[in-house]
Amino acid sequence: MSTIKVEDVAYVRFNAPDLDKMEEFLTEFGLVRAGRTADALYMRGTGPEPYAHVTHQGEPKFVAVGFRASSVADLEKLAKAENATVDNLDGPGGGKMVAVKDPDGHRLEIVAERAPAPEIAVRREFPTNDAFFYPRQNNPKRVGQGPSHVKRLGHLVLGVSNFARAQEWWQSRLGVIASDQWPEENPRGAFMRCDRGAMPVDHHTVGLVEGRPRFGHAAFEVVDLDDLMRGKEYLAAKSRKHEWGVGRHYLGSQIFDYWADPWGHTVEHWTDGDLMDAAWGTRKVSPEIVRAVQWGMEAPFRG
């Protein structure tokens, strides 16, 4: 039994020396300003989360990741187990937070009671015709130009020094489930999802990969393939650094496109990912399949 079961990832938190420069990039990436102070920038998607990306003034680095709990009672339970305290959460939406660290020192902020933000309406370029179903008639599709429309943060990947130790900690404290882990014997990595029982959730909310403890990437969901491609064209026109894509992952099945922020942190646009409930269980896969693509650009880097 785990101490609590988190419901989803909520936000990522970074430091950067230039908030204007970060806001310009994140706006081009498809996020919207939720709030700003003299030393902090809060950016949101179109969904109800008050913010999905935070930047504090400082030397560039990854600072923390936030996960949503179901209640303050869960925060109190985790705080007691980890000898931590329940504090007020900064930024738009308020709420409560307990900060803990995993065995590699990654800071995790477990949050509850955030006030939802009004959702931002997005024109969905639907319906889509395919070879077997033609719902769009007398209605030309016009995607338009501009940034993608980010809805929410979907997952992140972290490097850990000892996978077995990290997996035990994450499962026993936060209740996550391994969807796929590799290799088949003596696993050194896994894509892990939240446990919400019969409710389907993203194939992975966090990826843990044995190696150097570090931030890997943060992945943000966009509307659909057209929206992802629209954003790719827009970011390319702004001369942003492209890292990988477009393609369709094998594990998780997402269509993906990876970019770097001005300080080299990797952020991903994705759409059309797999959903699994708790009963789907865990699969063991070969390491070769982890970075495999079903179509598109093969991985140009490792780690």
Judge contact between 191 and 276, C-beta under 8 A. no
Measuring CA to CA, how many Å separate 288 from each of 37, 110, 293? Answer: 45, 33, 10
Check: pTM over 0.75? Answer yes or no: yes
CA 167 to chain centre: 18
Considering the domain boundaries, does residue 77 fall inside one? yes
- Segment 251-296, tens digit of pLDDT: 999 999 999 999 999 999 999 999 999 999 999 999 999 999 999 9
Burial 258-297 (b: 16+ CB within 10 A, else e): bbebbbebbbbbbbebbebebeeeeeebeeeebeebeeee
Q: What is the CATH number of the domain that holds 272?
A: 3.10.180.10
Task: Give me the chain's average pLDDT, please.
Answer: 96
Report the number of distinct structural domains present in the chain: 1
Structural domain of 289: 8-115+149-296
Residue 301: band (very low, low, confident or very high) from pLDDT cuts 50, 70, 90:
low
User: What is the pLDDT confidence band of residue 303, given thresholds at 50, 70 and 90?
Assistant: very low
The model's confidence at residue 1, banded by pLDDT at 50, 70 and 90, is confident
Q: Once rounded to an integer, what is the mean pLDDT over residues 132-136?
A: 94
Q: Which tokens belong to 280?
A: 């789907």
Is 127 within a domain?
A: no
The answer to whether residue 111 is domain-embedded is yes
Predicted confidence (pLDDT) per residue in 50-95, tens digit:
999 999 999 999 999 999 999 999 999 999 999 999 999 999 999 9
pLDDT given at position 286: 94
